[in-house]
Amino acid sequence: MKTYEGKSVFGGVAIGKVLVYKKGEQQVKRYRVSDTKAEIERFEGAKAEAVEQLKELYAKAVKEVGEASAAIFEIHQMMLEDLDYLDSIHNMIETQEVNAEYAVATTSDNFAMMFSSMDDAYMKERAADVKDVSERILAILSGGAKSTVATDEPSIIVADDLAPSETVQLDKDKVLAFVTVHGSSNSHTAILARTMGIPALIGTPVDLESVDGKMAVVDGYTGTFYVDPDEETMKTMEEKRRKDLEQKELLQNLKGKENITLDGKKINVYANIGNIKDLAMVLQNDAGGIGLFRSEFIYLEKEDYPTEEEQFKIYRAVAETMAGKKVIIRTLDIGADKQASYFNMEHEENPALGYRAIRICLTRPEIFKTQLRALFRASAYGNISIMYPMIISVDEVKKIKQIVEEVKAELTSQEIAFGDVEQGIMIETPAAVMVSEALAKEVDFFSIGTNDLTQYTLAIDRQNPKLEEFYDPHHPAVLNMIRMTVENAHKAGIWAGICGELGADPELTKLFLSIGVDELSVSPSRVLSVRKTILETDVEKERDEQIKKWL
């Protein structure tokens, strides 16, 4: 038995034979052409055919994986209309008098090299996209079809890498999992794999020649790839797969059902996301909305401050994709363990207690206003709510509201539409809990960030592995603070939810229902398991027992 460790991009267990997928390499030769105009027309014809193929792939992907994940094929179409890309090919054909295949291949290599050299992880992934669209054109120019993955029996596909168009063409009934030597969790291929529900590993150092046709196991939970597994491993993995499939099947039956307890209390179950790329998982897992969109990742992925327009496009896309469902976007929460060099922040001895989140926004209002303008503009396209992090006082909320009114006045004077936006705050400091009765009169909702609330309540750095044995998120002090926050929210007639890790803690779900939590926002993959607990709980019967057990 040989064991390889990779990085999981989707969980699950797959057992079957390996089929090594090798790309049909395009052998591109350079030759001189006398009629450059005709050669450019030949290229344009191939490009038009590639666009038609991509439209068909988009339609197929929409049906199978949803609009959010299918968008990659629209991006590929846009790449084929990119003026820089086209100018390079046209110019090469005209000035060097070379064939279209050579011009496309060379341009592809140049653009891929440019993207690969960028620091931004997302932009690095565009190198693969350029290669993918270029290979499609080359296949058309050479009279062949672009490579596809085909197998007669269900197999584990192993490859050096897979392009998005190759992934979406997989026959899901015949593909048990895929394992790639290269690739990254930021790639569109990884997103598609997660959305399609296929166990997948990337960055797995497999010798392709040695595994073809062999029996293997992919453990998407641990990131392990077993080739020629021994009897004991096979038995363990078969049992793990059986339990996994059983659990997934049970949860799938919960799709479309409302989150209502046995005694009739409705709970909103939303999803936490850090990137627009996570939307597919939100939709796949039937979340009622987005309870936390971590907008700081827009800043962390950039080398300079994102513009109003850049942010607006992202917020608008999220709002439109969620089609009227609530989307709660947290304003910039940078600082502490999330640093962006261009903010030029000074070194701090204790950044977790330092210059971060709303403190940056209130002291650098130009950054804050840019984000607020983008958020309010996007609110005209869906159900957007705004949430402010790291609040410790009523004065802070009043300052925020003043800036918001200035932004709304600016937009109104410019005749820019915006919606009716709910505004709430994160309760993640003991100070906010202690003045939550007063805070509740100033906002539309509370969302309890249990990660920081636990850290600050217990005076324990949650990033420090040496303190792990002391870090107790079930501590009665933390749980009582959650209860106090919920009670004060309800007293003022607003709702209160939880968006920290505790929201998905199966041990505490019934307690949260018992103390009146209105909403739980969890990672997309946990939505259905939380729904299961809600549907099985009788709050009235279990309230006293839960409160006695935990508080």
Point out the residues that are catalytic: 188, 499
| CA-to-CA dists, residue 76 to 220, 270, 430, 539, angstroms | 29, 31, 49, 50
Residues 6 or more apart in contact with residue 236 via CB below 8 angstroms? none
Q: Is 227 helix (H, G, I), strand (E, B) or coil?
A: strand
Helix or strand run (H / E) with residue 207? none
Amino acid at 419: G
Closest CA to 9 of 224, 199, 207, 155: 199
**Cα–Cα dist 226/238, whole Å:** 13
Q: Where are the beta strands (DSSP E) in 88-142?
A: none
Instruction: Quote the DSSP letter at residue 95.
Output: H
208 — alpha (psi -120 to 50), left (phi > 0) or beta? alpha
**Contact status, residue 522 vs residue 503, Cβ threshold 8 Å:** yes
* Secondary structure of 267-298 in HEC code, one letter for each residue: CEEEEEECCHHHHHHHHHCCCCCEEEEECHHH
Amino acid at 145: A
**Cα–Cα dist 155/180, whole Å:** 14
* Angle (CA) 136 140 144, round 5°: 100
* CA contacts within 13 A on the Cβ side of 526: 19
